[in-house]
């Protein structure tokens, strides 16, 4: 149609090796050093040691997040980092991807944590975003401009607590969806879907560029009618614990998955399912997913 392994390499923070100055064209050695720097930077974010984090910045470095006020200098950066670490004592930042140009480095991150600090909501947050770095001649961060979806963050951190029994019931429906993927039997799908809903997927466009996608959409009745066993074995499973949001009779499940065909890894992606409670039973109304070949955990 996806939690976290929070590994904090705190000991690596004891030795922060300056990077070579940025060159118009980065050599392989520069890229390796940048990735090492970014990996240790992510570990510093995760370390609950704001001073170790601030040490990755130049003395007069600047850290700004979205449109917030910038933190200028290591003392201010330490204070800003401490505010995040206090609000999310178990926060973990992982390097997703590193992109480089002649002038900047993009540090793409995956951030998870529980808002269990003073006055927190107790909700778990799972976000992705990035920082645009400008490095000085010593390889330290002169300026970092961070970006993330504030609306998504607010939704997650302020979400109402999820009823455990309802959550289990909803995930049981998703387990049945994965079983239906494997069986390809129309009746298995019919038992868990609303015929009036939609099924939609995005996948790389055959022969297209890296950012060109093909959208496939149908109503659930059409999708079910086209399902039938074809002799292949299909296995779909979460790669991380999915996020479940519930409000009365409606719910959303969002998670990363991987897909296997005949014992061979095929692709990964994100599943997003809208569910509704009808006559006391949860049903899938709309099911959307992406088909991705790159940056898969298994690949």
pLDDT of residue 101: 86
pLDDT of residue 226: 86
Q: Is the separation of the CB atoms in 45 and 79 below 8 Å?
A: no
* Residue extent(s) of CATH 3.10.450.50 domains in the chain: 10-157, 164-290
pLDDT of residue 10: 27
Domain 164-290 in this protein, CATH class: alpha beta
pLDDT of residue 12: 26
Concatenate the DSSP letters of all residues of 163-195 into one string: PHHHHHHHHHHHHHHHHHHHH--HHHHHTTEEE
User: Measuring CA to CA, how many Å separate 4 from each of 97, 108, 279?
Assistant: 17, 17, 35
- Name all contacts of 274-278 with Cβ < 8 Å and 24+ positions apart: 274/197, 274/250, 275/170, 275/173, 275/250, 275/251, 276/194, 276/249, 276/250, 276/251, 277/248, 277/249, 277/250, 277/251, 278/194, 278/249
Domain 10-157 in this protein, CATH class: alpha beta
Instruction: Using the Cα atoms of residue 222, residue 219, residue 172 and residue 271 in order, give the sign of their dihedral.
Output: positive
**Tens-level pLDDT at each residue, the chain (299 residues):** 532 222 222 222 222 333 333 434 455 558 899 999 999 999 999 999 999 999 999 999 999 999 999 999 999 999 999 999 999 999 999 999 999 988 899 999 999 999 999 999 999 999 999 999 999 999 999 999 999 999 999 999 998 777 888 999 999 999 999 999 999 999 999 999 998 999 999 999 888 887 889 999 999 999 988 888 889 999 999 999 999 999 999 999 999 999 999 999 999 999 999 999 999 999 999 999 999 988 898 76
pLDDT of residue 29: 58
User: Measuring CA to CA, how many Å separate 277 from each of 51, 147, 281?
Assistant: 49, 36, 5
pLDDT of residue 86: 97
CA angle 63, 43, 292 (to 5 degrees): 90
pLDDT of residue 23: 39
């Amino acid at each position: 149609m996806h939690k976290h392994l929070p590994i904090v390499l705190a000991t690596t923070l004891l030795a922060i090796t300056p990077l070579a100055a940025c060159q118009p064209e980065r050599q392989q050695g520069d890229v390796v050093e940048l990735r090492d720097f970014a990996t240790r930077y992510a570990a510093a974010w995760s370390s609950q040691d704001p001073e170790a984090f601030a040490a990755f910045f130049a003395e007069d470095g600047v850290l700004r997040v979205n449109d917030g006020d910038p933190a200028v200098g290591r003392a201010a950066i330490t204070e800003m980092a401490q505010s995040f670490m206090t609000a999310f004592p178990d926060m973990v930042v992982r390097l997703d991807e590193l992109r480089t140009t002649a002038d900047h480095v993009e540090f793409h991150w995956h951030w998870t944590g529980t808002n269990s600090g003073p006055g927190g909501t107790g909700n778990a947050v799972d976000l992705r975003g990035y920082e645009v770095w400008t490095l000085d001649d010593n390889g330290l961060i002169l300026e970092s401009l961070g970006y993330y979806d504030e609306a998504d963050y607010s939704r997650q951190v302020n979400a109402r607590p999820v009823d455990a029994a309802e959550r289990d019931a909803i995930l049981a429906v998703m387990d049945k969806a994965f079983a239906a993927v494997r069986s390809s039997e129309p009746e298995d799908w019919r038992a868990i879907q609303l015929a009036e809903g939609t099924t939609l997927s995005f996948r790389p466009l055959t022969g297209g560029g890296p950012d060109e996608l093909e959208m496939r959409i149908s109503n659930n009745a059409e999708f079910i009618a086209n399902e039938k066993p074809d002799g292949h074995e299909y296995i779909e499973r979460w790669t991380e614990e999915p996020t479940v949001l519930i409000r009365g009779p409606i719910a959303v499940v969002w998670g990363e998955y991987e897909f296997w065909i005949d014992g061979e890894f095929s692709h990964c992606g994100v599943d997003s399912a809208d569910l509704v409670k009808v006559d006391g039973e949860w049903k899938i109304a709309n099911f959307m997913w992406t088909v991705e070949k790159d940056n898969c955990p298994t690949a």
